[in-house]
Amino acid sequence: MNSFNSALGKNITFVRPAYFIISGFSGIPNIKYYYVFLCFVYVVSVLGNTVVMAVIYLDPNLRTPKYIAVFNLAFVDLLGSSALVPKLLDIFLFNHPYISYNDCLTFLFFCYTFLFMQVLNLVALSYDRLIAIMDPLHYQVKVTHRFMLSLIASFWVFAVIAILITVGLLTRLSFCRFVVINSYFCDHGLMFRMACNDYTPSFVLGLFLIVLFFIFPLAFIVLSYVCIGYALSKVATAQERYKSFRTCTAHISLVAIYFIPILITFSTQSSGIHPNVRIINLSLTSFFPPMLNPIIYVLQTQEIKVSVKKILKVRIQSKVKVRKVILK
């Protein structure tokens, strides 16, 4: 970061505070009950995503391109929850609202990287369903293990580079007036608006990232399902249409629980709602998808349900055999 700043001019001095104050949930009555709820959500998220990852890893039948993307989504959800919730509980539940300058930038980096990777994973799954239904005869050729691994790896590189540039631009800002971030984490938009020098590059980059990681992915997903709907309308029988559409229900549910709360939050942002209401709504959009994603995939995906039953059956049978040996 120092070399990045020195390239702008040796005489430029950036005011970097020793710490920021995160005051997102201050003034909300009975907020400790919300923290207990967050603990429950976090535990369910960790257990659920770990189970999905373990099932995909243990069952060779699930080592397909689609489930590579599902595995990565569970992995991202697990890391995202672990990056956000424990730090959040430390800040508010134990009354540690102060976070150092470097820790805040690190916190921002991980939160946004995992947030954007969740969106990009939904794009990968959407592409998988699009090819599977639009061109099923060539699905095995177009969507291979190598293709999916390369796609996900490129998404990781893309997201990391984008957030590194975002953090690099923040280090150019001087925070000489305010250090209070009115959010539940180190929010990029609120941070650069606190700067006392020109924050135009960060503002422009923020708009670009919204378009790149929210508008474009959502547009691609919607268009893909328009194409899927058109393709299914050409299918002869209603039973075949239902069977094909059923393979998409889990992904549609993930898209809905991820994008709808975000769209509602940002659409009501200018309607004069109380800042605390916005913060609670926005925090729920961060916490709920990682908890619900594994539940949706376990309940709505036949292959995973069969794999879970198979793994449980094998474990039960092995325990019975061990008991018989011990009794003998």
Cα–Cα distance for residue pair 308/197, rounded to 1 Å: 56
Instruction: Please state the φ and ψ torsions of residue 223, each to the nearest 5 degrees.
Output: -65, -35
**CA pair distance 280, 294, nearest whole angstrom:** 23
Calculate mean pLDDT across residues 247-264: 83
The tokens of 321 are what? Answer: 């055999």
Residue-wise pLDDT tens digits, 70-124: 999 999 999 998 988 887 877 777 777 888 999 999 999 999 999 999 999 999 9
The string of pLDDT tens digits covering residues 125-174 is: 999 999 988 888 888 999 999 999 999 999 999 999 999 999 999 999 99
What are the chain's domains? 2-296 (1.20.1070.10)
Q: What is the rounded radius of gyration, in angstroms, for the C-alpha atoms of the chain?
A: 23
Q: What percentage of the chain exceeds 90 in pLDDT?
A: 38
Q: Which two tokens stand for residue 307?
A: 């794999």
37 CB-near residues (< 8 Å, 6+ apart): none
With CA atoms as reference, report the closest residue to 108 among 4, 190, 45. 190
